[in-house]
Each structure stands twice: as structure tokens, then as C-alpha cells.
Chains A and B, each alone.
Chain A
Amino acid sequence: MDFRDSTAEAEFRARLRAWIADNNPGLPVSSTDDEYWARQAEWHTALYDAGFFGLSWPTRFGGQALPSVFDVILDEELAAASAPPRPSLGYLVQGITTHASEAVQQRFLPGLISGRERWCQGFSEPDAGSDLAALRTTAVRDGDDYVIDGHKIWTSYSDVADWCFLLARTDPAVPKHKGLSAFAVPMHQRGIEQRPLRMINGITKEFGQVIFDGARVPAENMLGAPGEGWRIAMTIVSHEREPGEVGYVARYAKTVKDLEKTVRANPAAFRNDQRDGVAWAYVQAEMLRLHVRRRLSERLDGPDHGPGGSIDKLLMTWVEQSVGTAALDLAGSGAVIDGEDVALKIYLYSRAQSVMGGTSQIQKNIIATRILGLPTA
């Protein structure tokens, strides 16, 4: 057990720290402002071009094949500088590298990793949230193409995406989990309509709804085999639940630092319970940083697509909601008088964390049955 940086890690950290000092775009906290989402692509390509993104992915796709612990160094340094978090799309990379053919990987991964091609994830539907396998979007073979009809919702980055990682039903005759397939669908075409969805904190540029009405996708853009869609989706969501994959540690740390700064400026202006809330948010954020160190260290044993991501997801949710609550409580009446208050927005956004990527209740079902081995009725 060694928490110290190796020589290579220390060298990387120093280089990264110097680069961030000169290149921090100083964006607002992602959960509070449309400006963040509007400039996220710019931040992605800047990080990538400087050699600080895609660290643990294969070099043939534009990654650097570094050990996975380099990602937590990235998170820690971004957090220390209050810089924006790294783009969260590692779970798509995991899904594609685990299930797609080499040709498909070659076609799509370089653009995804470099940020030159933007992606969204078309899984959830209005009537298929927790019961994802009940989704009704169809993909019907027509010559060399599939034709897509359906309605996706809660689709992050749908307004800027070039590609949609789509889950659709290709075989209605088989049980619901077995009739799904995954596709890389080009977003810029007739037959796709993107509608922004306004979140409870008012931001409009994070996610949207996507209507497919006779959209076309070449059959060669299928990711994995026909009927493999459910397995691919499970690989993706298991990683979407890992803070080590989504990089939110930096986002929480930035907010906690801001809260601490507010209290330090005049501690006597706050009640003890408000200050305790901030101290507890710090404890939670530190726990998560250390948890990511542990989970990414475990990856040195090789990749694991198991249910452990559900534990990570619940821990991450508790952290985000502790931070959000601390921000709201510290703001006091300010968050009630001003509907645009940053703390109000952070708090409201934090409620989504126990839903997105699978609700906390679904995570608990998974932990109970697949990790604790409790029986199902």
C-alpha cells in the first residue's frame, strides 16, 4: 500500500499542474451554468491536445496507455486548481472497447477520445427509465441500413452531439432483454429532432430529448452483435456509475473549496450547524477522492465490469447531495430570495445524482442481490 506518487506520476503531476495554471478556463461549476456546457467541448479538446485526457486508454485510439491511477491525479490537480472536471465519457469508451469489433473501435474511438466528435447516449425513454429493457425505440433493417423510430429522453449533450450511442429494439419477438442492439447513429440528419430539456435548476444545455422519425444508420455502425445491446448497456452503465470514470471528484472539491472560503471570510456569520455541514462536505469529498484512488488502484489487476460500480454510485450520490445541502444551508435566505443563486442551483442539481445513471433504489437492488447475495423473491 503506497499513496505516494511514483517518479513518473510525480513528473506527470508537476507537468499537469503547470499546464492548468496557464490554461484553466475558469468556468462556472458545471451544475450551475449553461456557459459551462457551452464551452465544455473546448475544454475537452484543450485537455486532450495538451496530453492530459484519455490517459489510460489504448494508444492506437489516441490514448496514452498509462495505468488507471493517472486519472485520479488528473482529478486531484483539476480540483486543487478549481478547474473544470475532465469530460465524463469513459464509460462509452469502456462499452466500445469491450464489445465492438476492432474496425468499429478504429472508426469511432479516436474522435470520441480527442473530442473532435461529440457523443450522446440514447438509452432512457419516457416509458423506460429504471425498466430500461422495456424501451420501445425500434431499429428495422432496410437494405444496408437500419431505420430508427422512437423517443429518447434525459439525453446529456444531445444538442451538440455528432453521434448517438443508441440502444434500440431490433427483435420484438424475443424476451425484452434479448431483442436490443446498440448503434452509432449520426445525429446530423433528417429524421432526428433534438429538443432541449430544462432542468430543475434552470439550465438548458446539459440534456435534451431526441425524437427519431425514420432516421437511418448504416448496418456497419452496429456496436457489438445483434441482440448484444443489453450486455453493452450494462457494461456502460456499470462504468457510468464510477466516480473514477466520470471524474466528478474535481467538481465536488471545487464547490467545497468555495464553501470553505465563504466561511473563512467570516466564521461568526454562520451557525455551528452550517459550518458543520461544510466540514462534513469536506469529509465526504475527501472520502470519495480516496475511494477513487482505491478503485483505480484495483484496476491495476485488470478491468472489472462487475456490480461494484453501484457501490461507487451510491457513495458519489451521498457526496454530491451532502455538498449540495451544505451549499444550500450555508446560503441561508440568499438561496430563497434570489432564484439565480448559485447555491440554490448546486443544491437543485444535486437531486439528479440519485436518479441519473440508475436510481439509488436500482443500485441498492443490484448491491443486495449481486454483491451481498441476498435472495430475490
Chain B
Amino acid sequence: MDTRDTPEQAELRRTARQLARELGPRTVVDFDDAKRARRLADAVRDAGWLELRQQGDDGGPLASGVEAAIIADALGEAVVDVAFTGPVLAADLARRAGVHAVDGAVVGFAPDLIGPARVSGRTTTNAVHAVDCAAQGPAIAYVLAPEGDRYRIVQVPVDGAREGADLTRTIRPIPAGVPVSEVAGSRLLTRRDLEAWAAFGLALTSADLVGLMRGVIDLTVAYAQERRQYGVAIGTFQAVQHLLAEARCLMEGALSAALYPAWAVDALDADDARMAGRVAKAYCARAARTVCETAVQVHGGMGNTWECMVHVYLRRALLSSRWFGDDGEQLRELQRSRLGVADGLS
């Protein structure tokens, strides 16, 4: 047992952080800099990060869940406006179905954002949301078509555009009535496959929350050192110090909880991995809400303006928390699996 990064993992962490710092947005104005966004997207693609969970020569993914989580953490830390988790989840799902995800593919989610959308006919019948895909241009979303107790992976085109709460990642809606097409060569997915995939989703969204907590705490500590009131830096006040100290503790606890599912997705069976993911997600989602709200508060009036970066973290936290189920959802699932609570009990 040794939960430290291997030298390779530590190197990946350094590289990912450096890239995120250099090409990520520093101010809200940077979101409009299309040239930067393009360089960023190219850099992520060139680094091979979108293919991490494609099938490797040995049949398993090219890289482990730990590597994917390290990158998710680094991108969250700098609230980087590039699709990563979406394409990586699509690649992971496609691999389990025995195919390579096509370029630009993401997974289409049901409106609750907890799991993949399901379709039963030749067109979509309910709204589907393509989460964390490229902001513009054509894309495709994988959804599931149930067949007996298994699921076929099928695809739908994405062309609409809408801005969600998160300013750094796109949620594009797919209306009802859009044609569904086959994914050539795919095999049926079992319930187990989907559980293992959901565990990976819980691990990645938890890692993203850990990163963004770290990022927003750094930003807020720097602000508290520089912002002066009553003739002194506000960071000298215990009231402010204690808020930030609590935030740091929450981030550290979240990190400890989130490392385990990232490792577990490749090392443990689907049930155990998903349980690890649920624990991490419940903790990270609650912690991130508090940490981001603290950051807004410590920024005072500035924190309530569009120009201040803290709301970018809070907004990203809202999507990462909700995606694959927020803390309330995870506790409900833990009630079912650990406390024997049956459906319908209120």
C-alpha cells in the first residue's frame, strides 16, 4: 500500500498543471479569446489525453483511472475551458462496447445528468444532453438502447448549442425526434459494464472537484493577502482565516476520498469501485459547495461580480457535483446499498 504518486504520475501532474496554467483562462475576458481556446484544445489533443481510455494493445485502457483523474484534477484547478472528461468518458464507454470512440464523441445524458440517456426507437423521444463536448461544430453523443437485460451503444448527432451554468464546459441539448444510428462493430454492454463506467465517472468528477477547490482556495488566499480594509490585509482577521482554514481541510479530505475510486476503477470489481466513487462524490460535492461559497464570501462585493473569477469555480462545481449524481443522490444510493432501504420509502 502506497498512495503516493509514482514518479511517472508526479511528472504527469506537473505537466498537466503547467499546461492548464499556461493555456487556461486567467480572467473572464479570456473566455472570449478564441485563439487561446484553440491552442488549448490542440494541446490537450496533442498530449493524447482524450485517448487515455481507448483500448490499448492488451485489451485494457491505454492509461489508468489514476492518470485520467490526475489530469481532471489539474484541469479543474485552473478551470480550464476545454472538453476532457466528456470525451474520456465516451472513450471509456466505447471501449467497454468493443469499439474506438470517434473523434468528438461524448456521452448523451438523461436530463437528471446522472446516467446515459436511453432510447427505444429510431429517434430520440426525450431530451438528451451532450455534456462536456466541443463548444461548436458537429459532434456525436452515445446513448443506450436497452435490449433485454443488456444495452446497445448507439449514437445521435449533436448540433444545437446552449450555455449551461458552467462557463468552462458545454452542455448541448439534443431534442426529441433526432435520428439514432448504430455504432458499427459494437457489442452489447452489461449492467456490470455500466456500473464500472459509472464508477469512472464518479472518480473523474470527484477529481475535478478536488482540483477546483484547490484552485479557488489559492485564488482566495492570494486575495485575502492583498485586499486591505481597516488599514490591514483582510487575511489577518481570524474570521477570514478560519473560513479559509476550513476550506483547506475540506479540500484535503476530498483529495483523500477521491484518490481511491480513481485507482479502484481498474483494480476492484464494479460494485466496490462504484461504492468508492459514491463515497468520494458525496464528500467532494458537499465540500466543493462550501469551499466555493466561502471563496465568493471572502471576495466580498468583488466576488459577486461577473468579472471576478470565483463564480467560474462555483459554476463549474455545480456541474461536476450534479454530473453522475450529487451528494444527496449518493447518500440515497448508500441508503439502498448499505442500509437496505427499498425504493419508494420516504
Contact = CB atoms under 8 A, between A and B. Distances in A.
A258 to B, nearest CB: 13
Interface size class of A (residues with CB under 8 A): 35 or more
6 contacts: A3-B3, A283-B330, A288-B253, A364-B241, A367-B249, A375-B233
List of 9 A-B pairs having minimum Cβ-Cβ separation, nearest first: A368-B241, A291-B256, A367-B245, A364-B245, A374-B235, A279-B334, A297-B3, A377-B236, A364-B242
A38 interface: no
A69 B256 contact: no
B256 A290 contact: yes
Contacts of A73: 1
A267 B341 contact: yes
A314 B5 CA distance: 25
A371 B248 contact: yes
B291 to A, nearest CB: 13
Interface centre among A260, A315, A364 (most CB of B within 10 A): A364
A91 interface: no
B2 interface: yes
Interface stretch (B41-49, B195-203, B259-267): B259-267
A12 to B, nearest CB: 11
B245 A260 contact: no
Contacts of B283: 283-284, 287
Interface of B: 1-6, 9, 66, 217, 221, 224-225, 232-233, 235-238, 240-242, 244-246, 248-249, 252-257, 259-260, 262-264, 267, 279, 282-283, 328, 330-331, 334-335, 338-342, 345-346
A374 B21 CA distance: 23
A303 to B, nearest CB: 15
A279 B264 contact: no
Contacts of A9: 1
A234 B240 CA distance: 25
B4 A260 contact: no
Given A287-B279, A367-B249, A297 B256 contact: no
A5 B268 CA distance: 13
Given A1-B5, A3-B3, A364-B245, A282 B260 contact: no
Given A1-B5, A294-B259, A314-B246, A365 B238 contact: yes
Contact of A297 (B1, B233, B236, B342): B1
A174 interface: no
Contacts of A260: 338-339
Contacts, number: 165
A314 B249 contact: yes
A289 to B, nearest CB: 9
B39 to A, nearest CB: 30
Contacts of B66: 1
Contact of B242 (A6, A293, A361): A361
Interface of A: 1-6, 9, 69, 72-73, 260, 263-264, 267-268, 272, 275-276, 278-280, 282-284, 286-288, 290-291, 293-294, 297-298, 300-301, 311, 314-315, 318, 361, 363-365, 367-369, 371-377
Nearest to B275: A286
Contacts of B225: 373-375
B242 A290 contact: no
Contacts of A288: 253
Nearest to A285: B279
Given A314-B249, A318-B249, 18 more contacts: A1-B2, A2-B263, A3-B1, A275-B341, A279-B331, A279-B338, A287-B254, A290-B259, A293-B256, A297-B3, A314-B246, A361-B242, A364-B241, A372-B241, A374-B224, A374-B244, A375-B235, A377-B236
A373 B238 CA distance: 13
Contact of A267 (B249, B256, B342): B342
